[in-house]
A and B are shown apart, each in its own frame.
Chain A
């Protein structure tokens, strides 16, 4: 995916409190709105961010409180890149974790978060090390109007 010149970037750090899930997805959607994408694309990003941030909070920092970092980069080509990082427990087997319906969360969860990130975004990379944490990188090419 061609990135092109960077137009804008923001980073936020927040504690792994559940209340920050809604805050983070709303902030990402508001930041991306400056690219003037379609309403559906804003919702796709809001949904994917909600999945990654919720995972960091409920799985990464399951029994602890930690810091979640979210960076959003916007490029002139219309590419949006979102990086969500935690320093929590990490994932033993990323390949297995990405399979539909795989969950360690019991009946409370459906194991469909990664499946949704994959289908709502154009690219998904997951890097994780047990005991070190997890980084999720998502990319989406937005339909943006040409700037004058």
Chain B
């Protein structure tokens, strides 16, 4: 799992790539959380186009980032979701709780 991010005009974009299982999710949750606190962006995009695999561990990552953003009054969405990750998020009903593209 790799994480790269950019901050442009109040928008924080976090690009996550590689495989996202349980150990990677633990690390990613901590890093995203810190990133949101440090930058307090107006909006945040979790960009997953480089993601090769995700299991339910990734659901907790999305939910935690969405919750954190909501608490900071920051708009949050998921962008570029590959088919496999979309299937996981949809099976869990996450598309009803947050915007997934």
Contacts and interface: CB of A to CB of B under 8 A. Distances in A.
Interface of A: 18-19, 21-22, 25, 40, 43-44, 46-47, 50-51, 54, 57-58, 100, 107-110, 112-113, 115-116, 119-120
Interface residues of B, number: 22
B45 interface: no
Contact of A21 (B21, B59, B91, B92): B21
A47 B84 contact: yes
Nearest to A40: B83
Give the 6 A-B residue pairs with the shortest CB-CB distance, closest first.
A50-B55, A110-B59, A112-B92, A18-B23, A119-B91, A112-B56
Contacts of A19: 23
8 contacts: A21-B21, A21-B22, A22-B19, A25-B53, A47-B88, A51-B55, A54-B55, A116-B92
A50 B21 contact: yes
A107 B56 contact: no
B21 A54 contact: yes
